[in-house]
A and B are shown apart, each in its own frame.
Chain A
Amino acid sequence: MDGKCSAQGWVYSALAEVCRRGPAAKATRDEVSTMLNTLLPILIFTALALAAIGAVRRMRLWRQGRPSPVNLLKGLAAMPRRYLVDLHHVVGRDKMISNTHVATAGGFVAAAVLMILVHGLGIANPLLGGLLLLASTSMFVGSLFVARRRLNPPARLSKGPWMRLPKSLMAFSLGVFLVTLPTVGLLPDGLLEGSGSWLLALVLAGVVAWGLGEMFFGMTWGGPMKHAFAGALHLAFHRRAERFSTKKGGGGRSTGLKALNLNDEAAPLGVEKPADFTWNQLLGFDACVQCGRCEAVCPAFAAGQPLNPKKLIQDMVVGMAGGSDAGYAGSPHPSQGIGGKPVGEHAGSPHGPIVALEGKTLVDADTLWSCTTCRACVEECPMMIEHVDAIVDMRRHLTLERGKTPNKGAEVLDNLIATDNPGGFDPGSRLNWAADLNLPLMADIKQVDVLLWLGDGAFDMRNQRTLRALIKVLRAAEVDFAVLGAEERDSGDVARRLGDEATFQSLAKRNIATLAQYRFLQIVTCDPHSFHVLGNEYGELGGHYEVRHHSTFIAELYDAGRLTFAPWKGGRVTYHDPCYLGRYNGEYEAPRNVLKALGIEVKEMERSGSRSRCCGGGGGAPITDIPGKQRIPDMRMNDIKESGAELVAVGCPQCAAMLEGVVDASAEVRDIAELAADALVERPAGDASGGSRRPAATTMTAEEVIV
Chain B
Amino acid sequence: MPRNVKSLNGAGFSVSVLVSVGRHPLTARARRADHDARAVEMALSLNDASVQLIHAGDNDTASEEALRGYLGMGVSGVKRIEQASNADVVPALTNILRFAAPQLVLTGTRAETGEGSGLVPYLLAESLGWTVVSGLAEIESIEQGVATVLQALPRGKRRRLQVRLPAIATVDSSAPAARQSAFGPARRGELTDCAYASVIDELQTQWHIQPARKRPKRLKIVKSASARDRFKAAAAKADSGGGQLLSDVTPEQGAEAIFTLLKEEGVLR
Interchain CB contact under 8 A, B27 and A418 = yes
Is A401 touching B182 in the complex (CB atoms < 8 A)? yes
Q: Are A403 and B179 in contact (CB under 8 A)?
A: yes
Interface: A419 (CB within 8 A) = yes
CB-based contact A400/B182 at 8 Å = yes
A403 pairs with B73, CB closer than 8 A = yes
Q: Which of chain A's residues 404-429 have a Cβ closer than 8 Å to chain B?
A: 404-405, 409-410, 413-414, 417-420, 424-427
Determine which of B24, B29, B31, B180 lies in contact with A403 in the assembled complex, contact meaning CB atoms within 8 Å: B180
Chain B residues closer than 8 Å to A410, beta-carbon distance = 179-180
Q: How many A-B residue pairs have CB under 8 A?
A: 51
Query: Which of A269, A403, A409 has the largest number of chain B CB atoms within 10 A?
Result: A403
Which residues of chain B from 60 to 103 have any CB-CB distance to chain A below 8 Å in the complex? 72-74
Chain B residues closer than 8 Å to A501, beta-carbon distance? 183
User: Which applies to chain B's interface (DSSP): helix, strand, loop or mixed?
Assistant: loop
Q: Report 27 cross-chain contacts, Cβ distance below 8 Å, ordered by A residue.
A: A269-B183, A399-B180, A399-B182, A399-B183, A400-B183, A400-B184, A401-B183, A401-B185, A402-B182, A403-B72, A403-B73, A403-B74, A404-B180, A404-B182, A410-B179, A417-B31, A418-B26, A418-B29, A419-B24, A419-B26, A424-B26, A425-B26, A426-B26, A426-B27, A427-B26, A501-B183, A502-B183
A405 contacts which chain B residues (CB < 8 A)?
180
Chain A residues closer than 8 Å to B74, beta-carbon distance: 403
Residue of B whose beta carbon sits closest to that of A402: B182
A2 contacts across to B, CB distance below 8 A: none
**Which residue of the partner chain, among B24, B179, B180, contacts A418 with CB atoms under 8 Å?**
B24
Known interface pairs A403-B73, A403-B179, A419-B24; A269-B184 also in contact (CB < 8 Å) = yes
Alpha-carbon gap, A660 to B29, bound state (A): 35
* Residues in chain A near residue B24, CB distance under 8 A: 418-419
Interface string of B26-45 (1 = CB under 8 A from A): 11010100000000000000
Q: Are B181 and A403 neighbours in the complex by a CB distance under 8 Å?
A: yes
Partner among A265, A409, A427 whose Cβ is within 8 Å of the Cβ of B27: A427
| A420, A426, A500: the one within 8 Å of B183 (CB) | A500
- B window 200-221: CB within 8 A of A: none
Nearest-Cβ distance from residue B206 to partner chain A, whole angstroms:
33
Bound: A426/B29 CA distance, A: 12
Closest to A413 in B: B180
CA–CA, A427 to B24, complex, Å? 12
- B185 lies within 8 A of A419 (CB): no
Range, interface on chain A: 20 to 34
Q: Are B31 and A418 neighbours in the complex by a CB distance under 8 Å?
A: yes
Q: Which among B72, B74, B179, B180 has the highest number of chain A CB atoms within 10 Å?
A: B180
**Chain B residue contacts of A401, Cβ below 8 A:** 182-185
Count of chain B residues near A, Cβ 8 A: 17
Across the interface, which residues of A come within 8 angstroms of B183, CB to CB? 269, 399-401, 500-502
B173 → chain A closest CB, angstroms: 14
- Tell me, in angstroms, the Cα distance from A528 to B185 when the chains sit together: 33
In the complex, residue of chain A having the shortest beta-carbon distance to the beta carbon of B184: A401
**Is B187 in the interface zone, CB < 8 Å from A?**
yes
Report the separation of the CA atoms of residues A269 and B27 in the bound assembly, to the nearest whole angstrom. Answer: 28
Q: Given A265-B187, A401-B183, A403-B74, 5 other A-B contacts at CB below 8 A?
A: A400-B184, A402-B182, A403-B179, A418-B31, A502-B183
Q: In the docked arrangement, what's the CA distance between A418 and B32, Å?
A: 11
Residues of B within 8 A of A418 (CB): 24, 26-27, 29, 31
Instruction: Report B216 CB to chain A, min CB distance, Å.
Output: 19
Query: Which residues of chain B are within 8 angstroms of A500 by Cβ–Cβ distance?
Result: 183
What residues of chain B lie closer than 8 Å to A427, measured between beta carbons?
Answer: 26-27
Return the chain B residue nearest A404 by Cβ: B180
Within 8 A of B (CB), among A240-274: 265, 269
- Residues of chain A lying within 8 A (CB to CB) of residue B73: 403
Most buried by B among A404, A413, A417, A427: A417
Give bound CA distance, A407 to B197, whole Å: 44
Interface residues of A in 349-401 (CB under 8 A from B): 399-401
B180-198 Cβ-contact flags toward A at 8 Å (1 or 0): 1111110110000000000
A129 to chain B, nearest CB (A): 63
A413 to B29, CA, bound (A): 15
Contacts of A403 in B (CB 8 A): 72-74, 179-182, 185
* Cβ–Cβ < 8 Å partners of A420 in chain B: 27
Q: Which residue of A lies closest to B22 (CB)?
A: A418
The 8 A CB mask of B93-130 against A (1 = contact, 0 = none) is: 00000000000000000000000000000000000000
Select from chain B the residue with minimum beta-carbon distance to A425. Answer: B26
Instruction: Tell me the complex Cα distance, A400–B72, Å.
Output: 9
Nearest 9 A/B pairs, CB to CB: A403-B182, A403-B180, A410-B180, A401-B184, A502-B183, A418-B24, A400-B183, A426-B26, A269-B184
Q: Whole-angstrom distance between the alpha carbons of A425 and B188 in the complex?
A: 31
- What per-residue 1/0 map shows which CB atoms of B157-185 lie under 8 Å from chain A? 00000000000000000000001111111
Alpha-carbon distance A480/B78, docked complex (angstroms): 53
- Taking CB atoms, residues of chain A closer than 8 Å to B182 are 399-404
Min C-beta distance of B35 to chain A, whole Å: 15
Which chain A residue lies CB-closest to B30? Answer: A418
Q: Which residue of B lies closest to A418 (CB)?
A: B24
Residues of B within 8 A of A414 (CB): 180
Shortest B236–chain A CB gap in Å is 27
Closest to B74 in A: A403
Contact with B along A565-582 (1 / 0, CB 8 A): 000000000000000000
Query: Closest approach, in angstroms, between the C-beta of B247 and any C-beta of chain A?
Result: 41
CA distance A301 to B179 in the complex (A): 30
Give the docked Cα–Cα distance between A265 and B186 (Å).
12
With the chains together, A425 CA to B26 CA distance in Å? 8
Residues of chain A within 8 A (CB-CB) of B179 are 403, 410
**How distant is the Cα of A420 from the Cα of B179 in the complex, in angstroms?**
20
- Name which of B26, B31, B184 has the most chain A CB atoms within 10 A of its CB: B184
Whole-angstrom distance from the CB of A509 to the nearest CB of chain B?
15
